Structure 1
Amino acid sequence: MVENFATNSGAEKNVNMRQTRKTELSDKNVNIRQTTKTELLERARRLPKALIIGFNKCGTAALRSFLSIHPDIVSPNREPRYFSNNYNQGLAWYKSQMPLSTSRQITIEKSPNYIKEIKYLRRIYDMDPQVKLLVIVRNPVTRLQSEYSHEKSKYPEMVSMSYSEWIYINHIERFVVYMSDYASEIRQAYSVFPEEQFLIVSEEDLERDPVSVIRQAETFLNLQPAVSNDVFVFNEKKGFYCFNTSHPFFLSVMDNWEVNTLTGCLVESKGREHPSYDPQLLQQVVNISLPCVQDLFRLIHKKFDWKYYNSYID
C-alpha cells in the first residue's frame, strides 16, 4: 500500500507541475497564432495526413517531438503501430488514437516499423494514397552504438558485454549491413508511393540544427513557417538541443511523454551515452557499411554530412 501511495503521489505531483508550467506559459504575452472559437468547436479526431515511418534508433522520437511544437501540427504521444501490429483493430480504432485537432491542423503519427514491410506500406496506401511520409536516417556508425546502448539498458545479461563482443556475437557482416541498408527499404517504399511524397532527413542534421529540419518539414507539409531558433536551447550536458521551457510554444509538448518537462530534453531513455569504438572495429564497420551509404545517397539524390564517410563519397 505504501508503494502504491508513493507512486500515485508522484504522478499527482507531476500532473500538478505540468499544470503550473502551462499556466505560467499561457500568461506570457507573446505573438502566438490564436485558435478561433469556431475552430475550438470543430475540434475532432482525424486520421493522419503525414506519417513518420522509419527508422528506429534514428531519432524518430526527436523528430516527432520537435515537429509537434508547430501550432498547426498535432501528434499522438504513443506509437499506435496500427498498420503493423494493430491492423485488425480497424480504422475507427486508429482514428480514436489520434489527438483532437482543428481542420487547419495536420495530424502526424510516428511508428518507425512501418517502413519494414511492404504490406504495411500498402495498408497505408489503402487508407490514403496522398499521405505524406517522413523518413529519418542516421550515420550507421552511430546507429549501431545507439542500438547497443538500448539493448544494454533493456537486457540485464548484457551488462558485462563489451561493444565489440556484442557486434561480433550478432555476426558483424550481416548485422552491420542490416543496420546500414536504408536504401533497400526506401526503394521498397518508392514502389508503393511516388518519391515526391517522401521527406528524408538525417538525425545528425536534426541534432545540429533542429530548426533547419523543421523548415524542410514545413515546406514539405505546406505549412507556414512558425518555429524559430529561440524555441530551442543547446544543452551543454546532453550535447544537443532541447526545448526552451520558458518559450510559450513549449505548451505544445508539455504532455509529451518523451519530453522531460523540467529540462525540455527528451527523457533519459532517449540520447543514452554511446560506447566508444576500437579503431580497428570502427574501420571494419565503415568498410562494411560504405556500399549501403553510397546506395542511399544515390537513391535519394542527396548526401548527408556523416563522419567517417565523407572521404569516400564523391
Structure 2
Amino acid sequence: MRSNAAIKVLGLIVVLATGFIFIFRQSFDYREVIGDTQDVPGLWNSYNGWEEALKRAIGKENERVRRLPDVIGIGVMKCGTAALSEFLSYHPYIRAYPGEAQFFNKRYNRVKGLQYYRESLPAALPHELIYERTPGYFEYADLPGYLRMILPKSTKLILLLCDPVQRALSHYALKIKNNPEDRETFDDFVQRHLLRPESVTNDILRRGIYHRNFKRWKDKFGKRLLVINAERLLSAPSVVFETVQRFLRITVLLTGENFVKNTTSGMYCVKVPTMTSRDITHCMDGRKGRTRSKTATYSMTNRTAALLRSYYLPYNRKLYEMIGQDFGW
C-alpha cells in the first residue's frame, strides 16, 4: 500500500513540475519575432551552463579557422543592430566581427572576392558561429539574390525592424552629430519634407519604409531570415536574445538574469560570467541612446510625431500583412 501511495505522490510531483515548466516557457512573449525559432532539445541552460561553454575553447585558440559567416545582421540602420551584435558577442559560441563589415554594399569590395571577405572575418572553432552585421545591406535590391547564390545554404540572416518614427529621429540625430553646422530642427526638417508626402525621396525618411526591401529578402531566404521587432530590445532584451539563440540553434545562455539596467541612462547592459570569479558588465557606448535613453538630447513635438505616424501608417500595414503580425507602430 505504501509503495502504491509513493508512486502516486511521485506521479503528482512529475505532473506539477511539467506544468510549471510549461507555464514558465510560455510566459515569454515571442509573438514579436518572426522566423524559424523552434526549440532545440537540451539547449535551455541556467547561469551555471556558462562554465561548460567557456571551457570548450580553452587551449584551442590556434585551431580556429576562417570561413564564410554563419549569420549576418542585415539591418535596419538605427534599429539596434550594434546593441544586438555587441551583446551577442559575449556568448561563448559567437565570434562577431567588430563593428560593421561593409563588404557587400561596396562594389569595390565585391571585386576583391570571397577569399578577401573570408580573411577579414573572425576565425572560429567548429562549434562557434561567425557573425557579421552591416545595416546597409537591407537597402540593396540586388543583394538578396546575390547572397543566396554565394553563401552557404546554412547561413542565416537577422533583421531588426523598429518604429520608423523613432528610427527617423535617431537617423537625424546622427546627421546632426556628423554635421554640427546644420541648425535645422527635426520638427522643421519633417514638416519641410512632408509638404508632399507622395514624393518624399529623403533618405532619412525613406529608410523607414520597410515592406519593399523586406519582400526581396523574405522571398530569397524564407525561414533562414529572423525578423525582430527591435522595440523589444529596449523593453525586454532577454526575450529577443533567447529567441535569437534558439534561431541560431546554440545553447541559450543569455537570459533574463544577464541583463541589468543602467540607472543613469535607463538602457540595458549585459552581465556575463568569466572563468575567473569576476563577472563582466558591458553597456553600450554613451553616444548611443541619443533619442531613447533618460539622457536623450534629441526629441520631437507631438505634432511632428503625428505627421510621421500618418505618413508611415500605410507602409506599416503592408509590412504587417507580409509578416502576418502587427508590431503596433
Instruction: Give your verdict on TM over 0.5.
Output: yes
The 3-state SS of whatever aligns with 1:168 is helix
Matched, 1:134 2:158: yes
Contact 1:51–1:132 (CA<8 Å) still a contact in 2? Answer: yes
Aligned to 1:223: 250
TM norm structure 1 = 0.77
Amino acid at match of 2:240: V
Mapped to 2, the partners of 1:183 and 1:288 lie a distance apart of: 14
Aligned to 1:151: 175
Mapped to 2, the partners of 1:297 and 1:156 lie a distance apart of: 37
The 3-state SS of whatever aligns with 2:99 is coil
Question: Percent of counterpart pairs with the same letter?
Answer: 26
Query: Which one has the largest radius of gyration?
Result: 2
**CA shift digits 1:161-205 (9 cap, x unpaired):** 211122234446225761331111110112322x21110112210
Alpha-carbon distance change, 82 to 281 in structure 1, aligned in 2, over 3 angstroms: same
Alpha-carbon distance change, 184 to 290 in structure 1, aligned in 2, over 3 angstroms: same
The 3-state SS of whatever aligns with 1:76 is strand
Residue-pair matches, total: 266
**CA shift digits 1:86-145 (9 cap, x unpaired):** 211211111111112100011111011112113222331122252211000111121111
Amino acid at match of 2:267: F
Aligned to 1:58: 79
Aligned to 1:31: 51
Alpha-carbon distance change, 70 to 281 in structure 1, aligned in 2, over 3 angstroms: same
Deviation at 1:38, TM superposition (A): 7.3
Aligned to 1:257: none
Mapped to 2, the partners of 1:139 and 1:270 lie a distance apart of: 17
TM norm structure 2 = 0.74
Mapped to 2, the partners of 1:112 and 1:177 lie a distance apart of: 16
Mapped to 2, the partners of 1:171 and 1:280 lie a distance apart of: 12
Mapped to 1, the partners of 2:251 and 2:77 lie a distance apart of: 29
Aligned to 2:116: 93
What is the Cα-based RMSD across aligned positions, in Å? 2.6
Mapped to 2, the partners of 1:203 and 1:292 lie a distance apart of: 17
Runs of 4+ in structure 1 displaced over 3 angstroms? 36-41, 168-172
Q: 1:106-117 alignment to 2 at 5 Å?
A: 106-117=129-140
Mapped to 2, the partners of 1:103 and 1:208 lie a distance apart of: 34
Aligned to 2:39: none
Mapped to 2, the partners of 1:250 and 1:98 lie a distance apart of: 25
Match for 1:265 among 283, 288, 291? Answer: 283
The 3-state SS of whatever aligns with 2:51 is coil
Deviation at 1:32, TM superposition (A): 4.5
Deviation at 1:249, TM superposition (A): 5.2
The 3-state SS of whatever aligns with 1:126 is helix
Mapped to 2, the partners of 1:177 and 1:184 lie a distance apart of: 14
Matched, 1:103 2:126: yes
Amino acid at match of 1:53: I
Q: What are structure 1's unaligned runs of at least 5 residues? A: 1-29, 255-260, 310-314
Match for 1:240 among 264, 267, 292? Answer: 267
Mapped to 1, the partners of 2:74 and 2:253 lie a distance apart of: 24
Matched, 1:200 2:218: no
Aligned to 1:73: 94
Deviation at 1:231, TM superposition (A): 2.1
The 3-state SS of whatever aligns with 1:133 is strand
Matched, 1:84 2:109: no
Alpha-carbon distance change, 37 to 238 in structure 1, aligned in 2, over 3 angstroms: closer
Mapped to 2, the partners of 1:36 and 1:187 lie a distance apart of: 39
Deviation at 1:250, TM superposition (A): 11
Contact 1:47–1:95 (CA<8 Å) still a contact in 2? Answer: yes
Contact 1:39–1:103 (CA<8 Å) still a contact in 2? Answer: no
Mapped to 1, the partners of 2:119 and 2:113 lie a distance apart of: 10
Aligned to 1:190: 218
**CA shift digits 1:12-58 (9 cap, x unpaired):** xxxxxxxxxxxxxxxxxx73411256744421122101110011011
Mapped to 2, the partners of 1:291 and 1:164 lie a distance apart of: 21
